[in-house]
């Protein structure tokens, strides 16, 4: 016991992280009643990605009526794709109204979580305090630790440098010369917002994304009233959005007619918005559509054509005190560099923190990134441990909340089983291997592995698809929606559990 926070008891569950997944898990525990749980969150508020990504233009690109909890529908979404403040407010409201806040320790950066074989519980250290729990759920996020680009001289830049996920709101950008590195999902949301404000904006692109129109609009007062008064209408919309996104899956399986259809939408969008053939050529992707996330925007291409904005495709050679040196040798003078360069998705830092039964961390257990988990959720050698949105749970198109909710259902059942029986469960290594192989078999020949791009969906060493789920969302739920003890190696010990919990 090293601090007042530590009540010296073995809790039923510790959840790492208070984003969509961690909060959703907590709602399930809270509604269940009897579970004694704690959330350890390193930041000072709930919200995860939606607390951290406050860059101008930040919004979801999956429709809000689907990109939200099924068990907490929100009839008041202001538009089809809600912006970051609205999503964050939704998550704060969830924590408040579901009674979760008292269970959260903020400023609790988990630096160690070790399975204690003697006491058969997890020993967790966060910000100098020690906590113990029978079960551990990592909901630390797959896009929560920003990555800066590996460019020589980056640290020598004397101007302002920050990441899109750690936006520097103190700094007045008006009238400055800004360089934006990265044209992924965040980058293309930022460009139209900055273009209006800054003196000049140089956009550094490594590979061109496919972009299709953003079918966004505000919901009318009448629609919102209808969603509130007749909840089935909101549910019907949610179902419709689910199946719309699900129907975009065949393209991943290289169905030619579907590829042609979606490619032509992207091609037409580019042609109609970018008349200049030279710029259009620079903005034409050189890999198959879907290999990287297909982006949605109506204002990115127009913003690039403003007189104060320039697309740079020559590649970056290095960065010096005053700006960016291009591959061509040209120097671009800058006051600010914004890195919209993504996250440590392939090898999440939390995997170095969690140490299993034989004293090896998850990172050491997985040679090459998140190599796999049974049901995408549990790992051999890590008793009573569950990882939310870990290996093979990402989506190219679809709502991550659906994936998280599937896992929440699974973990809720597993934790109930563990607490009722006093068992310690982990998947058999052979069962895990079989499961992971079945996932990898499904990834072969998909656009992600064969589409000719390099993306964070693949591990750079193994070339394997480790972050993305290579099948339908509905199939994920069918396979991984329910915990079955028969899939697990189990050591019942109710007597010891009763002793520990007393």
Ligand X SMILES: Cc1cc2nc3c(=O)[nH]c(=O)nc-3n(C[C@H](O)[C@H](O)[C@H](O)COP(=O)(O)OP(=O)(O)OC[C@H]3O[C@@H](n4cnc5c(N)ncnc54)[C@H](O)[C@@H]3O)c2cc1C
Q: Scan residues 244-303 and list those touching ligand X (CB under 6 A).
A: none
Pick between residue 297 and residue 399 the one whose CB is nearest to ligand X. Answer: 399
| Least distance to ligand X, CB of residue 18, Å | 5
- What is the total count of residues that contact ligand X (CB under 6 A)? 34
Rule CB under 6 A: is residue 42 a binding residue for ligand X? yes
Out of 26, 28, 35, 60, point to the residue binding ligand X (CB under 6 A): 60
Contacts of residue 140, Cβ cutoff 8 Å, sequence gap at least 6: 16, 17, 110, 348, 349, 350
N-to-C CA span, the chain: 17
Examine residue 20 and tell whether it contacts ligand X (CB under 6 A): yes
Judged by CB, which is closer to ligand X: 408, or 423?
Answer: 408
Q: Is 216 in the site for ligand X (CB under 6 A)?
A: no
Token pair 């979801």 is found at: 60
Rounded to the nearest whole angstrom, what is the least distance from the CB of residue 383 to ligand X in the complex?
20
> How near is the Cβ of 147 to ligand X at its closest, in Å?
12
Residue 79: phi and psi, rounded to 5, are -150, 175
Distance CA 306, CA 198 (A): 12
CB of 56 to ligand X, least distance (A): 12
The reply on whether position 58 binds ligand X by CB under 6 A is yes
Cα(313)–Cα(311) distance, integer angstroms: 6
Backbone angles phi, psi at 499, to 5 degrees: -65, -45
User: Cβ closer to ligand X: 214 or 440?
Assistant: 214
Ranges within 351-390 binding ligand X (CB under 6 A): 353, 388-389
Task: Work out how close the CB of 388 gets to ligand X at its nearest, in angstroms, rounded to a whole number.
Answer: 6
Could you please report the per-residue DSSP string of 301-340?
A: HHHHTSTTEEEE-S-EEEEETTEEEETTS-EEE-SEEEE-
Using CA atoms, how far apart are residues 63 and 77, in angstroms rounded to an integer? 10
Cβ proximity to ligand X, 22 vs 290, nearer residue: 22
Angle subtended at Cα 141 by Cα 363 and Cα 134, rounded to the nearest 5 degrees: 70
User: In this structure, is the dihedral angle defined by the CA atoms of residues 42, 43, 46 and 52, taken in order, positive or negative?
Assistant: negative
Residue 232 sits at the vertex; the CA angle it makes with 229 and 236, to the nearest 5 degrees, is: 130
Stretch that binds ligand X, among 106-114, 261-269, 433-441, 493-501 (CB under 6 A): 106-114
- Binding ligand X (rule: CB under 6 A), the pick from 26, 95, 100, 143 is 143
427 is written with which tokens? 């998947």
For ligand X, the closer CB: 141 or 323: 141
Instruction: Assess contact for 295 and 191: CB atoms under 8 A.
Output: no
41 near ligand X, judged by CB under 6 A: yes
Stretch that binds ligand X, among 41-49, 117-125, 364-372, 419-427 (CB under 6 A): 41-49
Whether 13 and 35 have beta carbons less than 8 Å apart is answered as yes
Residue whose tokens read 């003078």: 333
- By DSSP bridging, strand 10-16 and strand 309-312 are unpaired
Q: Contact between 202 and ligand X (CB under 6 A)?
A: no
Q: Rounded to an integer, what distance in angstroms lies between the CA atom of residue 276 and that of residue 71?
A: 48
> Least distance in Å: CB of 50 to ligand X?
6
Instruction: Compose the 149-188 pattern: x for residues touching ligand X by CB under 6 A, - for all others.
Output: -------------------------------------x--
Site residues for ligand X, 401-460, by CB under 6 A, read none
Among the listed residues 13, 14, 49, 319, the single contact to ligand X using CB under 6 A: 49
Q: Of these, 30, 109, 119, 223, which contacts ligand X (CB under 6 A)?
A: 109
Q: Which residues bind ligand X (CB under 6 A)?
A: 16-22, 40-43, 48-49, 53, 58, 60-62, 67, 108-110, 139-141, 143-144, 186, 350, 353, 388-389, 399-400
């Amino acid at each position: 016991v090293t601090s007042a926070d530590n009540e010296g008891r073995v809790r039923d569950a510790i959840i790492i992280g208070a984003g969509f997944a961690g909060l959703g898990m907590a709602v399930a525990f809270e509604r269940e009643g009897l579970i004694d749980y704690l959330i350890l969150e390193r930041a000072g508020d709930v919200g995860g990605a939606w607390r951290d990504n406050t860059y101008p233009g930040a919004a979801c690109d999956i429709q809000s009526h689907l990109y939200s909890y099924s068990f907490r529908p929100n009839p008041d979404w202001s538009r089809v794709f809600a912006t970051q403040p609205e999503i964050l407010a939704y998550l704060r409201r969830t924590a408040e109204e579901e009674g979760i806040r008292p269970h959260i320790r903020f400023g609790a950066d988990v630096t160690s979580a070790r399975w204690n074989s003697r006491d058969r519980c997890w020993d967790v250290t966060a910000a100098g305090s020690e906590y113990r729990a029978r079960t551990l759920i990592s909901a630390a996020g797959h896009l929560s630790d920003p990555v800066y680009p590996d460019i020589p001289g980056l640290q020598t830049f004397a101007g302002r440098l920050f990441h899109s996920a750690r936006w520097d709101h103190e700094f007045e950008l008006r009238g400055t010369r800004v360089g934006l590195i990265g044209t992924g999902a965040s980058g293309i949301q930022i460009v139209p917002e900055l273009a209006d404000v800054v003196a000049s904006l140089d956009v550094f692109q490594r590979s061109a994304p496919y972009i299709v129109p953003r079918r966004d609009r505000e919901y009318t007062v009448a629609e919102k009233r209808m969603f509130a008064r007749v909840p089935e209408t909101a549910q019907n919309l949610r179902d419709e959005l689910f199946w719309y996104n699900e129907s975009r899956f065949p393209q991943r399986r290289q169905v030619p007619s579907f590829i042609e259809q979606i490619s032509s939408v992207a091609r037409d969008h580019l042609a109609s918005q970018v008349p200049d053939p030279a710029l259009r050529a620079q903005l034409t992707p050189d890999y198959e559509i879907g290999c990287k996330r297909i982006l949605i925007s109506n204002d990115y291409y127009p913003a690039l054509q403003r007189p104060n904005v320039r697309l740079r495709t020559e590649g970056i050679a290095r960065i010096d005190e005053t700006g960016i040196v291009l591959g061509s040798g040209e120097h671009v003078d800058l006051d600010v560099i914004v890195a919209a360069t993504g996250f440590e998705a392939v090898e999440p830092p939390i995997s170095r923190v969690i140490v299993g039964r034989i004293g090896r961390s998850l990172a050491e257990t997985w040679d090459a990134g998140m190599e796999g988990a049974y049901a995408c959720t549990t790992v051999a050698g890590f008793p009573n441990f569950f990882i939310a949105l870990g290996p093979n749970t990402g989506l190219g198109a679809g709502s991550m909340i659906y994936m998280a909710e599937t896992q929440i259902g699974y973990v809720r059942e597993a934790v109930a089983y563990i607490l009722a029986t006093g068992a310690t469960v982990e998947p058999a290594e052979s069962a895990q291997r079989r499961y992971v192989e079945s996932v990898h078999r499904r990834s072969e020949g998909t656009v992600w592995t064969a589409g000719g791009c390099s993306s964070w969906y693949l591990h750079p060493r193994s070339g394997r698809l480790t972050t993305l789920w290579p099948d339908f969302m509905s199939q994920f739920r069918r396979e991984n929606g329910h915990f079955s003890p028969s899939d697990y190696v189990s050591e019942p010990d109710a007597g010891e559990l009763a002793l520990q919990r007393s």
